Amino acid sequence: MATERPEGLSGQTGPYARFVRWMENLTETQFAYFLLTPALLLLGVVAFWPLLSTFRLSLFADNITGVGAVGEFVAFENYLAILSGERNALMPAPFLPETLTVGALFESALTVTLIFTVASVIFETLIGFGQALVLDQDFRGRRWVRVAIIIPWAIPIVVQGMIFYLFFAPDIGIFTGNSALSLQSLGLISGSPLQTPQDSALIVIVADIWKTTAFMALLILAGLQSVNRDLYDVAEVAGASPWQRFKLITLPVVLPTVLVAMLFRTIQAMRVYGIIEATNVGCNTLPSLSCLVVTSFFGGTRLVGTAATVAFLTAAIIGLVVTVYIVFYAREDVE
């Protein structure tokens, strides 16, 4: 079929005509792979190679004083040293908390990341649900309310960080010092919230909720709009209260969407890095997992192997969380 097509070109020579003729003569599979080549080439060099290379680096010892990036091959020793806490003395922050005090929880990468993720995803889901219910109504100005809700999602992380930096910067912040809205005079946050782990965690969580709730809201809204409206009419006739209508009609339909949205947000929240730097909290005050990768790599002691190991442990933990969601989702589906 393809061979008879470019008759107009059959008489022509030259590189373009030859190229076209060559392309027309490819089978469908060949043509598919031909078109995929540029994308796969790019992904290969900038995504797959770095991933594999990071994994390879994680199997080598740190080379703190030598010339090369990493020392000798040590297999999974890095993973063991990091998980057992042996490496803590060298690392900018421990991976797992050393003790189970509140202070230690806010100083170790894994627990900081988990606290951030759980808190922000839960609040984003709840607030996002609220926003979606509002946007699901028909009212004048709906379009502009939606714009207002989406804008925070669309702004650069660095601006998001700047906003919350200006909120909480000493002396000038609206929530610090002698301001009318000061949380400090209420005793809720310490004197320098951006340098205190607990307070800065709170700030970063609120900043994340402010920015990304819109994502949650839009996904849940899509779920809400797939609910068959007739069901509400039937329920109303049958005398169901609005709460019953919500619980028995809306929720079951929307729940799978909510789970998918939560899964996406969780994957993103577990990689938190930008907002910590952009609020000027810094990775030393609040070491998330991504932070730990960067600070191990760029820190005073060059820990390339350790950094790579933390990067892969991060990916593995995200994988674990994804699996939990998928199991949960599958169970919901079966029911």
Partner 1 sequence: MTDDRDSNGRQTDSNERQTESEATDQTSGTTDRTSETTDCTSETTDRAFRTDGMGAGTDAELKRGVLQRWIDSTISDPQKAYRAMFYVATLFFVVTTMFPFYWMLVVAVTEGSSYALVPSLTAVDVGSFREVFVRIEFARYMFNSLFLATVTTVLVLVLASLAGYVFGRLEFPGRRPLMLLILAISYFPPAAFFLPLFQLFTGNVFPWVELYNTPGALILPFSSLFMPLSIFILTTFYGQIPDGLEDAARVEGTTRLGALFRVIVPLSAPGVATAGVLTFIAVYNEFFFSFLMTDGGASDWAPIVGGLIQLQRAGQFEVTYSVMAAGSIIAVLPVTLLVVIAQEKIVSGLTSGALKE
242 is a site residue for partner 1 (CB under 8 A): yes
Minimum distance from residue 53 beta carbon to partner 1 (Å): 4
Q: Which of 125, 191, 168 has its CA nearest to residue 278? A: 168
Candidates 59, 290, 299, 302; binder of partner 1 (CB under 8 A) is 290
Q: Residue 62: which H helix or E strand, with range? A: strand 60-62
How big is the CA angle at 315 (ends 310 and 319), to the nearest 5 degrees?
140
Minimum distance from residue 99 beta carbon to partner 1 (Å): 26
274 is a site residue for partner 1 (CB under 8 A): yes
Q: Which stretch binds partner 1 (CB under 8 A): 74-82, 114-122, 184-192, 219-227?
A: 219-227
**β-bridge partners, 60:** 73
7 is a site residue for partner 1 (CB under 8 A): yes
Candidates 232, 246, 297, 329; binder of partner 1 (CB under 8 A) is 297
93 is a site residue for partner 1 (CB under 8 A): no
* Three-class DSSP labels, 56-88: HHCCEEECCCCCCCEEEECCCHHHHHHHHCHHH
The footprint of partner 1 on residues 94-113 (CB under 8 A) is none
Minimum distance from residue 149 beta carbon to partner 1 (Å): 6
Cα separation, 317 vs 290, whole angstroms: 12
Q: Which stretch binds partner 1 (CB under 8 A): 43-51, 92-100, 183-191, 323-331?
A: 43-51
Q: Which stretch binds partner 1 (CB under 8 A): 48-56, 83-91, 117-125, 183-191?
A: 48-56
CB distance 291 to 276 below 8 Å: yes
237 is a site residue for partner 1 (CB under 8 A): no
The footprint of partner 1 on residues 56-75 (CB under 8 A) is 57, 69
Minimum distance from residue 273 beta carbon to partner 1 (Å): 6
235 is a site residue for partner 1 (CB under 8 A): no
Q: Which of 306, 301, 263 has its CA nearest to residue 94? A: 306
Minimum distance from residue 73 beta carbon to partner 1 (Å): 17
The footprint of partner 1 on residues 135-194 (CB under 8 A) is 137, 139-140, 143, 145-152, 154-159, 162-167, 169, 171-172, 174, 179-180
Provide the residue type at 312 as one letter. Answer: F
